Amino acid sequence: MENQIIALSYGPDEKPLARTDVMNYFAEYGFQPSEDDTGFMNYGPNKETVFICSVFEKTGYVLFKEFHGRELPEPVFAFINQLHDPTTIVSLGVENPDSWDAITTDSEYTLKRFKALWSEDIPDEEV
């Protein structure tokens, strides 16, 4: 089973990336990071792992990954859509869990293009 991945590379006009800000954002939706700080994002009274979120502050890079094939929750996409620098890069890909180093990038967009496609403001052939 492949896991979908969304990677963000912050553009220079985004607010500086801080792990605490990202975790606080998801806490508003009821998600909590695992206590061992592995990036597992848990939800509900049983603290079920829903997705993985890795934040690399120094490089301005955030990675969201499905956990065991569970679709990424809507707050991940809301997080992306609240970003504002049109040069931020949104990469979409898949990871083969049988080989952790086998990640295939399917698509790469500027934030501006990603938002346009997400909201279906422009036809695919014009992007």
| pLDDT(35) > 90 | no
Residue 99: which pLDDT band, with cuts at 50, 70 and 90? low
List the domain boundaries for the chain: 3-126
Specify the higher pLDDT residue, 36 or 102: 36
Structure tokens at 73: 């929750």
How does pLDDT run across 111-125, given as a tens digit for each residue? 999 999 888 755 555
10 Å Cβ neighbour count for 80?
A: 18
10 Å Cβ neighbour count for 59?
A: 10
Question: What pLDDT was estimated at residue 102?
Answer: 58
DSSP annotation of 33:
E
Question: What pLDDT was estimated at residue 4?
Answer: 92
Residue 37: which pLDDT band, with cuts at 50, 70 and 90? confident
Q: Are 107 and 4 in contact (CB under 8 A)?
A: no
How does pLDDT run across 38-95, given as a tens digit for each residue? 899 999 888 999 999 999 999 999 999 999 889 999 999 999 999 999 999 999 998 8
Buried b (16+ CB within 10 A) or exposed e, 1-33: eebbbbbbbbbeebeebebeebeeebeeeebeb
